[in-house]
Amino acid sequence: MIQPLKRFFTLHGMLPLILILFVCVFSGAMFLIIQSKQYDKIVTYSGRYLNETLSNEERVNDLLSQMTLSEKIGQMALVEKNSVRKSGDVSEYGIGGILSGAGGKPDANTVEGWRDMVTKFEQLSRESRLGIPVLYGVDANHGHGNVPAATIFPHFIGLGASGDEDLVAEVARATGEELVATGINWSYSPTLDLPEDIRWGRVYETFSSDPNLVARLGSAYIRGIQNDDVGHVPVLATAKHFIGAGSMGWESSSNKNFLIDQGKIEVDEVKLREIYLPPFAAAVDAGVGSVMVGLQSWGTTKLSAEKYLITDVLKGELGFDGFVVSDWYSVYEISNFDFYSSVVAINAGVDMIMLPFEYETFVRNVSWAVKLRLISEERIDDAVRRILRAKFKLGLFDERKSAPELDVIGSEAHRKLARDAVSQSLVLLKNDSQVLPLKNVRSIHVAGSSAHNIGRQMGAWTIEWQGVDGNWVPGATSILDGIEEVSEEGTTILFAEDGIFEEGSRADVGIAVVGEAPYAEGWGDDPRPKLSDVDLSAIEELRKTSERLVVVLVTGRPLIITNELPDWDALVVAWLPGSEGAGVADGLFGKRPFTGTLPIHWPAIIKQVPVSTDGKTTDGTDLLFERDFGL
Ligand code: BGC
């Protein structure tokens, strides 16, 4: 027996084996090639899906039945606009979505520049075989923030302080109008995260740490921006960052540059369901068109790989019928192998992938994954059906409703709304001897780094991802300008940023407008959020020349101010008010009453953080101010 076997395995004897192997590989390859052709076979074109009298589902099914596999995968790609290598690629790959990441502006950053850029992408997409229009998305977190002339509303934390659903819906509607005027039909907003740790650099992007308030305001925002009663194409909203964002552990980030952002969420399933899920459930009820899965992890699993949470809970239990989009590059953080990562994310239930760069490789990888049966055709069809459903719902295939004129951007009506929103977002935390509102004040000294600095009052996600410090935005009003405008006639107002005024110059009231410089995402993670030495010194100097001292905090989150507070007569938190600084002055001078309340617990010392959403401090000591407090 041994001898014949040995002989068989000599080079001569191996020939049959090699032959068999060759035949196997050859027929396998032929099978795949034939199959590939099958997948990309084009069925006869019928424009039935363009018939507006059919139901959206009929139209989606008709369109889907005519699409090749590559066309379907193209729809699942969300590409950053600067990464589109050749303009012809938009139609050739049938790209489903284009985005301007924060700061992704046209060469001419003007309203016309934006409209021309977005329209060009839209036209290119319509040149594809089936003419499927592209979704164009931006982070309109607080207005059409990439555009200098736009109305910049308070960041969400300020809207949270107002607690006013109608206001939030109005802000969303106005934001939608400014977006649509430049052709944009998708906003990566609202954020439904619940911040438990003020050290996180995204606190200001959230409405509150109160799940009920977030659910209420988030839904109002969705209804406002997706409203199809407005006479123009509505804007698709995105509830983000699914799920648990705000509960990440300190120093748990998977990004070596960050401390907490993109970290591990520290919640078990019970807490996730009780606290973090309700805002998303409310968003689904409000009809949100897309949900973004965040960059955080649950245990060791990146959220974009979390099949149970995405497919079973969000799509299954909550009945979400829109599409799930992944966050920036997050799919490729699942593993070191792009092919494998795409397979895992799509099988987990991600429908559109914010690549945001390499679309050619993505289409190739996913196409092979389907041919190798690693992703089912049903899964691809489900993803594309969801994306197309959103496009039909927005009316992108239909006779265009006329878009608002460009002059709606930064219009007087929107600025008035923003100014109202600012005054409603102010929270009065201290007011000794009723120093506020300021009445019959003859002289005012104003100081501080944020008093005459529009970049600071806007915060990040404005023109640039990290914002721009300084006075640079056309049409906006600084808080100092607002004070000058609103103060009573005859009041002398002097400004010195460092709080040092001419010798002998005294004021009835000193207003210190101090706070944070702009930051976004992980770059704003801060071990101890507090006032800068420069601002502390300005306050100290100002104190010397003022009878009474009013401090206005321009900040994205509670700062540790426990030691300084006793020396201040009044304290107003203005959050990040945006372009209309006069709204702050309206509150200070009593044109509008203070109605805002804290949307988040305010720690006294850093050892208290994280503070649970229901107000339990880590060290068991008392907070400086509890959520919902406001005079
Ligand atoms: C952020 C998202 C944002 C996306 C696109 C990511 O870095 O986490 O909130 O929507 O970028 O700009």
List Cβ neighbours of 86 (8 Å cut-off, separation of 6 or more): none
- Pick the residue whose CA is nearest to atom 5 on ligand 1: 101
The atom number, within ligand 1, closest to the CA of 294 reads 8
Both tokens of 94, joined, read 């049938």
Please give the torsion angle defined by the CA atoms of residues 242, 243, 249 and 250, in that order, rounded to the nearest 10 degrees.
30
Q: Is the pLDDT of residue 206 over 80?
A: yes
Helix (H) or strand (E) holding 78: strand 77-80
- Residue 443 pLDDT: 98
Residue with tokens 């006479």: 231
Query: Using CA positions, which residue lies closest to atom 12 of ligand 1?
Result: 101
Cis check: omega of the bond before 610, within 30 degrees of 0: yes
Q: Please tell me the least confidently modeled range out of 204-208, 283-287, 456-460, 468-472.
A: 468-472
pLDDT of residue 617: 98
Per residue in 51-78, pLDDT tens?
A: 999 999 999 999 999 999 999 999 999 9
Confidence of residue 18 (pLDDT cuts 50, 70, 90): low
Q: Which two tokens stand for residue 567?
A: 């020396």
User: pTM above the 0.85 mark?
Assistant: yes
Q: Which residues line ligand 1 (CB under 6 A)?
A: 101-102, 139, 188, 240, 295, 327-328, 521
Look up tokens 């002339």; give the residue: 149
Among residues 139, 205, 497, 521, which one is catalytic? 521
Residue 292 CA, closest ligand 1 atom number? 10
Residue nearest to atom 7 of ligand 1 (CA): 328
Higher pLDDT, 116 or 103: 116
Distance, in Å, from the CA atom of 146 to the CA atom of 143, rounded to the nearest integer, reads: 9
For the segment 289-293, the average pLDDT, to the nearest whole number, is 98
What is residue 45's predicted lDDT score, i.e. its pLDDT? 82
| DSSP-assigned letters across all residues of 18-77 | HHHHHHHHHHHHHHHHHHHHHHTPPPPP-GGGG-TTS-HHHHHHHHHHT--HHHHHHHTE
Mean residue pLDDT across the chain:
94
Residue 286, number of CB atoms within 10 A of its CB? 18
Residue 40's pLDDT is 72
Q: How far is the CA of 329 from the centre of ligand 1 (A)?
A: 9
In the sheet that 297-298 helps form, which strands lie side by side, from edge to edge?
Answer: 264-265, 297-298, 301-302
Is 266 a known active-site residue?
no
DSSP letters for 317-336: IS---SEEEE-TTGGGGS-S
Q: Which residue has the tokens 């996913």?
A: 366
Nearest CA to ligand 1 atom 4: 328
Asked if residue 190 has a cis previous peptide bond (ω within 30° of 0), the answer is yes
Mean pLDDT of 270-281: 98
Q: To test ligand 1's pocket by mutation, which of 80, 139, 465 has the most ligand atoms within 8 angstroms of CB?
A: 139
Tell me the two tokens of residue 551: 């401090």
Instruction: Compute the distance from residue 93 Cα to the ligand 1 centre, in Å.
Output: 24
Q: Give me ligand 1 centre to Cα 222, in Å.
A: 18
Which residue has its alpha carbon closest to ligand 1 atom 8? 327
Instruction: Identify the residue whose C-alpha is closest to ligand 1 atom 10.
Output: 188
- Across the strands, what pairs with 535? none
Q: Residues of the chain with pLDDT > 70: what percent?
A: 94
Q: Does 442 have pLDDT greater than 90?
A: yes
Is 268 annotated as catalytic?
no
Task: Tell how strand 570-573 and strand 427-431 pair up.
Answer: antiparallel
Q: Which of 178, 197, 261, 327 is catalytic?
A: 327
Distance 98 CA to ligand 1 centre (A): 13
- 113 burial class (0-12, 13-18, 19+ CB within 10 angstroms)? middle
By the 10 Å C-beta count (0-12 exposed, 13-18 middle, 19+ buried), 44 is classed as: exposed
Residue 356 DSSP symbol: -
Quick check: 438 pLDDT over 80? yes
Question: Average pLDDT for residues 203-229, to the nearest whole number?
Answer: 96
pLDDT class of 31 with cuts at 50, 70, 90:
low
The C-alpha atoms of residue 286 and residue 307 are separated, in whole angstroms, by 23
**The pLDDT value given to residue 76:** 98
Quick check: 264 pLDDT over 50?
A: yes
CA of 253 to the centre of ligand 1 (A): 16
Atom number in ligand 1 closest to CA 241 = 9
Mean per-residue pLDDT for 291-313? 97
d(CA 216, CA 223): 11
pLDDT tier at 1, thresholds 50, 70, 90 = very low
The pLDDT of 332-348, averaged and rounded, is: 97
Asked whether residue 402 carries a pLDDT value surpassing 90, the answer given is no
Q: At what angle do helices 377-394 and 338-348 cross, to 10 degrees?
A: 70
Distance 146 CA to ligand 1 centre (A): 14
**In angstroms, rounded to a whole number, what is the distance separating the alpha carbons of residues 293 and 326?**
5
CA distance 316 to 331: 21
